[in-house]
Amino acid sequence: MDGLTQTLYDIVQYILGFGATVMLPLVIFVLALVFRIKPAKAFRSALVVGIGFVGVFAIFSLMGEQIGPAAQAIVERTGLSLPAVDLGWAPLSAITWGSPIAPFAIVLTLLINLVMLAVKWTKTIDIDIWNYWHFAFAGCLVYVATGNFALGLLGSAIAAVIIIKIADWCAPLVQKYCNLPGISLPTLSSAVFFPIGLLGNWILDKVPGINKLHADPETIQKRFGIFGEPMMVGFMLGMLLGLLAGYDFKGVLALAINLGAVMYILPRMVRILMDGLIPISDGVKDFMARRFPDRADFYIGLDIAVAIGNPAIISTGLLLTPIAILLAFLVPGNQTLPVADLSNMAVFCSMIVVACNQNIVRAVIIAIPCLIGDLLVCSAAAPLITQLATSVGYDTSASGSLVTAFLDGGNPFRYLIYQVFSGNIVAAVVAVIVAVLVAFTWRVTHRQAYMEG
């Protein structure tokens, strides 16, 4: 790196070192001051947001500590042995931030968002800088494959533009079902599945029998009374996972109570977070409305974590955990042992659940082919991800010869970008077909989605 590049890289790495729970409140505080919100009010709101995220991530950590060992035990009981090791999203994000392309991808994404806002191509003000790594990772794959820095940045730019547009698209339903007024969710790992969820839901509407199946949290609670409450659903799913893992009575009960606690506490953590966000969101909207009277519909773009408090999303994620392990055993061509990313299953399925109007039955049906795709993609991408990890000095010796990440490494959207930039003609044709399907999905569903939202 030259001097300027190294300086920029060092500055970005220092800021990222704060972590999401510190960096996001700082960004929100600065943003609030820019939009002329009083400093005392801005500081209080930013602090409450930080506290809310600490709570959300603490519950995420609890869920990971419980599901991780259970998933590992289920895998061991199946005798599954595969060469590509699932690192999970956290090491993958660290590997991405270690790439020389990452600091430039952050600056580029900020500029892209500002330009899109200026020309009215988006309503989303994406302040979730930590999760810009999702866009940077797309660029990293292109850069490692082609050796061309400019093409890598272009890959990141394409990912950012498309995801910000999808965030606009799903915002009305996100705000309705996740109780997040004025919020959109431009997190790539979940947003790309929103059009798939809409298309799948539209298709299932046409299938006799399946189109009558309905199970959302409200329906479940109404039908089953106390046993339909989110905490009871978490308790019973915990018992199921504990039994599949071969735990003894004590272990099954502990897992069940902990997952019941996750279902009960997580929505309350999200409400704390929203207590801090709503004054900021209202302040930004007032500021923009004064200066742009024709635009009163801006969204604040945040981490998908704020949506995971939805009981339907958590329930679907827990149901998909043993299914993912079973698929890893059954899918021909799969080389990945899914473990680390299994606790992130709720993120994977969140926008499918939203697209299905919280219908858990439909969400599980639609998610299964998506999981198969993720397994095949993360297996195919394992050599490339291993090469990227090695290039930034990540030690893969403890994991094995091949490393990957089940969900983020298997994300089909990023892999398609990488294949197109690698000159794969078939991938280019697939990209055109996907674009046509997305346009069709928009045409047949957007009016209903906005009416419901």
Q: What is the pLDDT along the chain (453 residues), one digit of tens a residue?
A: 556 666 666 766 676 667 667 777 887 788 788 878 888 888 888 888 888 878 877 876 777 677 778 877 877 777 767 788 888 887 888 788 878 888 888 889 989 998 998 888 999 988 887 788 899 999 999 998 888 999 999 999 999 999 999 999 999 999 999 888 888 999 999 999 999 999 999 999 999 988 888 777 676 656 656 655 777 777 887 888 888 888 998 988 998 898 888 878 877 777 787 777 777 777 777 777 777 777 667 888 988 888 887 888 988 988 888 899 889 889 998 998 787 788 788 889 999 999 999 999 999 999 999 999 999 999 999 999 988 888 877 776 655 678 888 999 999 999 999 999 999 999 999 999 999 999 999 988 876 655 555
Report the chain's C-alpha Rg in angstroms.
Answer: 21
Spatial distance between the Cα atoms of 125 and 429, rounded to a whole number of angstroms: 32
Show the tokens assigned to 95: 């590997």
pLDDT of residue 21: 73
Spatial distance between the Cα atoms of 175 and 182, rounded to a whole number of angstroms: 7
pLDDT of residue 136: 92
pTM reported for the whole predicted model: 0.82
Burial 406-432 (b: 16+ CB within 10 A, else e): bbbbbbbbbbbbbbbbeeeeebeeeee
10 Å Cβ neighbour count for 335?
Answer: 17
| Dihedral angle over CA of 74, 80, 84, 85, nearest 10 | 30
Spatial distance between the Cα atoms of 375 and 336, rounded to a whole number of angstroms: 7
Spatial distance between the Cα atoms of 321 and 339, rounded to a whole number of angstroms: 10
pLDDT of residue 6: 67
pLDDT of residue 240: 83
Spatial distance between the Cα atoms of 56 and 45, rounded to a whole number of angstroms: 16
Q: How far is CA 294 from the centre of its chain?
A: 32
Burial 130-145 (b: 16+ CB within 10 A, else e): bbbbbbbbbbbbbbbb
Spatial distance between the Cα atoms of 151 and 167, rounded to a whole number of angstroms: 24
Q: How far apart are the first and last CA of the chain?
A: 48
pLDDT of residue 367: 96
Those residues with Cβ within 8 angstroms of residue 389's Cβ, 6 or more apart along the chain or in another chain: 95, 396, 403
CB burial of residue 48 (10 Å; 0-12, 13-18, 19+) = buried
Q: Domain residues of the chain, as ranges?
A: 3-450
For residues 367 and 210, is the Cβ–Cβ distance under 8 A? no
Spatial distance between the Cα atoms of 369 and 364, rounded to a whole number of angstroms: 9
Those residues with Cβ within 8 angstroms of residue 68's Cβ, 6 or more apart along the chain or in another chain: 339, 340, 342, 343
